[in-house]
Chains A and B, each alone.
Chain A
């Protein structure tokens, strides 16, 4: 009952968000929302950008790279120098180079993988400038790339795909900042902390036990962490910390916030290309993966673990270890599934303690390319790359040169879409292979056997997908994992984004082909099924062997899956 009501409430809120936030996003990017144009203009002047001048895909991509590289340098600088900068209440030292590199890349690539415990590593200034600011900008970059690709489909014979600086400025000031601001106030109302004051120390009079409880500007980070599908928590415990996620209501609101943009962008896309049904189809495909993940994880976590059943002589024991005990198993699973499937990676329960199948759900969502519904922007552009591959194969089967939304899919498009789809599996597999082959990598996992393998695999997969969720159990804060993780995150982010922008340029330059009865319908149930099939097959074919050595071997060692 609780489950059904939660899901129903979620569906209603997200449905409204899909329709109205989606439509609003389109208006923002098409320049029809102007109420803050005085701020906008000041930004453009500061950046020296002519808001009317559009960019070719190359120029768009160059701006995006320059912006990201500068951002990484900026974050890296702050983290290294934090000891000498203001707002260092706890007198923390500078962040070591490898960790600062990993963290800077992590936040700029919207991964938010954290090889550190925030409360004991980062000053308030680092948290705000090096970790919160990128949560806005990296989300904006992802959304901008998705919008640029949408423009590729909606335009014809166009040399340009929009202006990068205008796109990120608009989405930040019209969407990310206002929503995060209002939501932060709600979170504060519920009990999330937001303060510059020093940590408090309390003493339990009964036991004489002393405890220092760190505080900080938490609520402001918390909401953009979810809304921008970032996931980098203030505290090491992330969403499981009551100062980050104080009540059941904020837990629900978190789920809504992290799903809102990825879901709504499908409407934005549909509106931009003037085919809302296609947007709906993409949403349905994403929803399919989401609910399958949620269902499987719920069943797996609700079921008593075989080991515990044996220990308790068949008494039904729920696998409560590592769960958010305030909200119960389902709400824990919902939060973690929503978070891992959107590439947010914030958690309120420990994935490492999940059953093998429950853990594999989080892993599976990433291995399928993060389209369920994936991160802000990245979910949309990745599923569109998959759709292009699907259209190509399916389109041939109707006897025509494949076309998608009026654009012919030829050698160039299929090449770029293939790169976008396949770069992640290749990066993840190669990096994991390196990690299991070198002593520094082998030293990482806490567990032996298949579970230890899963710990390494998860860490690399999470970073390769810019997800940032942690399986736990891996000592990630080593020079080896910090450096390789940074490289993997960069490749997983820009190795996809650049081909996507190139794809946008190539599509925008093409004419729009007329549609006839002989054209493949890309908004049908059949096409949706094929899209699901292609995503599953590409993911399964790439990762079946590694999964069989990790979670599958572990799960089957009990002789059964659940």
Chain B
């Protein structure tokens, strides 16, 4: 269970992002600047924890001007650094987004668009003038001016700018591949596009503002956590403020600077400083996986998902069904069946058709059948659900069981029970049966088999351990679906799926308190995508689907749903882990500061100085320095997210409590002691 098997696409993804590293120099430079510009009170007040630190710093500055000493000045300096470090963390996270946004922005077109009116008259207008519903012409070499729907023509389009994929894709009018994105380049042919988004509202614009964090709103969970952190901040203000009167009651004196230092050390500054960076970085990790989320809320919801609806084709199976076997009827020679099957597929250019030709060749060496003049190819249609060839009066067909049976009967043939037996046998193995008919005689069955992706079973096992149920969605009949479901190891399946049934499934899961994630690309998927808690639309899909979902996968790879769930979980875990760490840290800080505060008045309290810190001043300063430095140290962790291995909740909890809870309890004892030793060593104290 512990092995982290990566999906087939994971390796290629890593290559894409490997060059970026966590932080590069340009980002660091900008972030340093950002650390100072973010000092603006308007920015600070958004983060209650850091706001208290900022106010404390101002008080401390005032105090150290009033009575300057090395101690007060250095404490004040480190308090100021704490604020700057927090700003820096946020700026670094934003910087990474900005870098991506800049790349995107550079491809926004400034060239003119070729608008055509009802009469087909073409005028050159600037992109800014385009309105929804306008029609534009794009030919080879043109950049598509804005998002739209192809209404006429077919073209190959280079979408590498947004997907990172260099291979051009085909976009054509009608069907599910008609959407084009502004900023992409037409490589061949001519298309007419109906504009669906005005300037400033295009996909690219949305993407830029998202990765930049400009339109970032706090997510529900982030708000809840901010409230908890605010509560943990508010409690420490009376704790330290009242200490002033308690101390004077006990005839002990405490300096304001030390009280400010104590407050700052106790309030959860670590998580407070890194919280927004964690959120931005989570979004960023999605972008690096080439997934765009319309809101941070969707990313969080992904972590909560308990049911995944996965399309069979392309997600669970490779999606190219290949002919695997011929099963002749009694009294029919297998070779005769193969011959007829091959004949019916000669002009069939679908992968299935070609695989039949290849299988016949491999098994019986049948080759060289060529289409004669009298051969009339009958293509597959959704209505007949058959394809084949007419040679004079002779009709050779292959097709879906029911269709071919009906066809045979209509032409006076007989259907023996063996037909159903053979097709059921194929279905029960997870194959798809194709009946072959010559004239009105059913010859037998071709078994088409789909291959389950490598490693997918292990991934589902991991998902199950995480408490996520996988449901395979397929148009196959229940028997075939059951066989593939068993082979792939999904928990359940929906056979003979229609958009309506998919919708029903989502509604029933949600009624049971489950959160559902799904992928989809077609217009008929749109209602389900909108209904699902996490709806990932394929970029290759229609605009309707993209509008309905709350994420878009630029690579159009449905398997990525699993990655999305993991990113969502990782985001929440990182927040929880750093909150725990932050709170656990307080214990050591108390042991550093409290004896330091009162040891002069109550010498017995030196027993609490369990770290044996050098002096009261070095103890306070060490705690403050530790408190500031830990923010910087944890920035990479906040940006990368804590390591996530799919496992059960109990397992994850145990692991994270050990590392961040117990670790967070122990580490500051060591860290503060070390800093104290350094302070003593440098003879500053």
A interface residues with partner B (beta carbon < 8 Å): 389, 392-401, 406, 409-411, 413-415, 418-419, 421-422, 425-426, 429-430, 432-433, 436-437, 442, 449-450, 453, 511-514, 516-521, 524, 526-527, 530, 533, 537-538, 540-542, 544-546, 548-549, 552-553, 555-560
Chain A residues near B572 (CB-CB < 8 A) = 396, 399-401
A489 to chain B, nearest CB (A): 18
Q: Does B590 contact A (CB under 8 A)?
A: yes
What is the minimal beta-carbon distance from A534 to any residue of chain B, in angstroms? 8
- Smallest CB–CB gap between A535 and chain B, Å? 13
Assess the B653–A397 pair: CB atoms within 8 A: yes
Residues on B with beta carbons closer than 8 Å to the beta carbon of A513 = 513-514
Does A394 lie within 8 Å of B576, measured CB to CB? yes
Q: Does B521 contact A (CB under 8 A)?
A: no
Contact A399 to B513, CB < 8 A, known contacts A548-B598, A553-B598? no
Which chain B residues lie closer than 8 Å to A392 at the CB level? 224-225, 228
Most buried by A among B248, B266, B466, B649: B649
Q: Determine if A400 and B594 form an interchain contact, defined as CB atoms under 8 angstroms apart.
A: no
**Closest beta carbon of chain B to A190's beta carbon, Å:** 45
Task: Please give the distance in Å from B307's CB to the nearest CB on chain A.
Answer: 9
Residues 646-670 (chain B) with a chain A CB within 8 angstroms: 648-650, 652-654, 656-657, 660-661
Which A residues touch B252, using CB under 8 A? 549
The answer on a CB contact under 8 Å between A433 and B245 is yes
**Which of these, A397, A530, A557, contacts B577 with CB under 8 Å?**
A397
Q: Which residues B635-685 have CB closer than 8 A to chain A? A: 644, 648-650, 652-654, 656-657, 660-661
Known: A411-B223, A411-B227, A512-B513. A399 touches B569 (CB 8 A): yes
A394, A409, A429: the one contacting B242 at CB < 8 Å is A429
Residues A541 and B246 in contact in the complex (CB < 8 Å), given A392-B228, A398-B652, A517-B649: no
Knowing A453-B249, A526-B653, A526-B657, the reply to whether A411 touches B573 (Cβ < 8 A) is no
Q: Are B220 and A514 in contact, CB atoms less than 8 angstroms apart?
A: no
Which residue of the partner chain, among B245, B467, B587, B598, contacts A540 with CB atoms under 8 Å?
B587
Contact (Cβ within 8 A) B467 A517: yes
Complex Cα–Cα for A406 and B512 (A): 11
* Interface flag for B238 (CB, 8 Å): yes
A415→B648 contact, CB < 8 A: no
Judge whether B556 is part of the interface by a CB distance below 8 angstroms. Answer: no
Chain B residues, Cβ within 8 Å of A418: 227-228, 231-232
Query: Which residues of the partner chain A approach B513 to less than 8 Å between Cβ atoms?
Result: 406, 511-514
Counting CB contacts under 8 A, is B303 at the interface? yes
* B512 neighbours in A (Cβ, 8 Å): 514
When the two chains form their complex, are residues A410 and B245 in contact, meaning their CB atoms are under 8 A apart? no
B576 to A: closest C-beta gap in Å: 3
Known: A395-B576, A537-B583. A545 touches B243 (CB 8 A): yes
- Chain A residues whose CB sits within 8 angstroms of the CB of B464 once the complex forms: 517
If A389-B228, A394-B576 touch, whether A436 touches B598 (CB-CB below 8 Å) is no
Asked whether A514 lies within 8 Å of B602 as measured between CB atoms, the reply is no
* Bound CA span A382–B26, Å: 51
Q: In the bound complex, what is the Cα–Cα distance between A494 and B43 (angstroms)? A: 36
Cα A449 to Cα B225 with chains together (Å): 41
**In the complex, A432 Cα to B239 Cα: how many Å?**
11
Residues of A within 8 A of B598 (CB): 548-549, 553
Q: For residue B649, which residue of chain A has the nearest CB? A: A398
Give the docked Cα–Cα distance between A545 and B266 (Å).
12
Contact residues in B for A517 (Cβ distance below 8 Å): 464-467, 648-649
Ranked 6 nearest A-B pairs via Cβ = A396-B576, A518-B467, A399-B569, A556-B604, A516-B467, A517-B467
| B300, B586, B650 interface centre (most CB from chain A within 10 Å) | B650
Among A401, A415, A526, contact of B650 (Cβ-Cβ < 8 Å): A526
| A-contact 0/1 string along B379-413, CB 8 Å cutoff | 00000000000000000000000000000000000
Most chain A CB inside 10 Å of its own CB: which residue of B469, B572, B598: B572
Could you count the A-B residue pairs with CB atoms below 8 Å apart for me: how many are there? 214
Determine the chain B residues whose CB is within 8 A of the CB of A514 once the complex forms: 306, 512-514
Q: Are A557 and B469 touching (Cβ within 8 A)?
A: no
B569 touches A400 (CB 8 A): yes
Known contacts A398-B573, A559-B604: A533-B661 contact under CB 8 Å: yes
Nearest CB on B from A47, distance (A): 38
CB-CB under 8 A from A413, the residues of chain B are 224
- Say yes or no: is B250 at the interface (Cβ < 8 Å to chain A): yes
* 8 A Cβ contacts from B209-236 to A: 220-221, 223-225, 227-228, 231-232, 234-236
Among B238, B249, B576, B644, contact of A442 (Cβ-Cβ < 8 Å): B249
Contacts known (A399-B572, A514-B513, A556-B607); A545 close to B246, Cβ less than 8 A: yes
Residue of B nearest to A398 (CB): B649
Q: Is B570 an interface position by the 8 A CB rule?
A: yes
Do residues B250 and A453 form an inter-chain contact, with CB atoms below 8 A? yes
Measured CA separation A559–B238 after assembly (Å): 30
Known: A430-B242, A526-B657. Is A414-B224 also a contact (CB below 8 A)? Answer: yes
Can you spell out 27 A-B residue pairs with CB atoms less than 8 angstroms apart? Answer: A394-B653, A397-B577, A398-B656, A399-B569, A400-B572, A401-B303, A406-B513, A410-B223, A410-B224, A414-B224, A422-B235, A429-B242, A430-B242, A436-B248, A437-B248, A453-B249, A511-B513, A516-B467, A517-B649, A518-B649, A519-B649, A526-B654, A541-B590, A542-B235, A544-B590, A545-B246, A559-B607
Task: Tell me, yes or no, whether B247 is within 8 Å of chain A by CB.
Answer: yes
Contact A401 B249 (CB under 8 A): no
Which residues of the partner chain B approach A556 to less than 8 Å between Cβ atoms? 602, 604-605, 607-608
Q: Which of B240, B604, B607 has the most CB of A within 10 A?
A: B604
With a cutoff of 8 Å between Cβ atoms, the chain A residues found around residue B587 in the complex are 537, 540-541
Q: Which partner residue on chain A sits nearest B228 by CB separation? A: A414
Complex: A426 Cα to B595 Cα, angstroms: 23
Q: Within the complex, which residue of B227, B266, B570, B650 is in contact with A521, where a contact is CB–CB below 8 Å?
A: B650
Cα separation A524 to B249 with both chains bound (whole Å) = 45
Chain B residues in 8 Å Cβ range of A559: 604, 607
Contact indicator B468/A400 (Cβ below 8 Å): no
State which of A415, A421, A432, A526 has its C-beta within 8 Å of the C-beta of B246.
A432
Which chain B residue has the least Cβ–Cβ distance from A445?
Answer: B249
For A538, what are the chain B residues with a Cβ–Cβ distance below 8 Å? Answer: 235
Closest to B579 in A: A393
Partner of B657, one of A397, A411, A430, A518: A397
Residue of A nearest to B608 (CB): A548
B568 contacts partner chain A, Cβ-Cβ < 8 Å: yes
Convert B442-478 into 0s and 1s, putting 1 for each residue whose CB lies closer than 8 angstroms to a CB of A: 0000000000000000000000111111000000000
Q: Which of B220, B240, B576, B594 contacts A397 (CB 8 A)?
A: B576
B575 CB–A CB distance under 8 Å: yes
Does B594 contact A545, Cβ atoms closer than 8 Å?
yes
**A439 CB → nearest B CB, Å:** 12
Report yes or no: A397 in contact with B605, Cβ–Cβ below 8 A.
Answer: no
**Contact between B250 and A549, CB atoms less than 8 A apart:** yes
Within 8 A of A (CB), among B485-523: 512-514
B2 → chain A closest CB, angstroms? 16
Q: Is B194 an interface residue (CB 8 A)?
A: no
Cβ contact within 8 Å between A409 and B649: no
Within the complex, which residue of B225, B568, B576, B602 is in contact with A553, where a contact is CB–CB below 8 Å?
Answer: B602
A24 → chain B closest CB, angstroms: 31
Q: Contacts A399-B303, A537-B583, A537-B584 given; 17 further ones with Cβ under 8 A?
A: A395-B576, A396-B573, A397-B576, A397-B653, A398-B652, A415-B227, A429-B238, A436-B246, A450-B250, A516-B306, A526-B657, A527-B653, A541-B266, A545-B240, A545-B594, A546-B242, A553-B604
**A395: which B residues are within 8 A, CB to CB?**
576
Contact A545 B239 (CB under 8 A): yes
Inter-chain CA distance A527–B650, complex, in Å, is: 9
Alpha-carbon gap, A330 to B566, bound state (A)? 55
Question: B580 interface residue, CB < 8 Å from A?
Answer: yes
B304 beta carbon closer than 8 Å to chain A: yes
Rounded to whole angstroms, the CA-CA distance of A538 and B239 in the bound complex is: 12
Tell me how far the C-beta of B73 lies from the nearest C-beta in chain A, rounded to whole angstroms: 25
What B residues does A432 contact at CB under 8 A? 242, 246
**In the assembly, what is the distance between CA of A2 and CA of B514, in Å?**
54
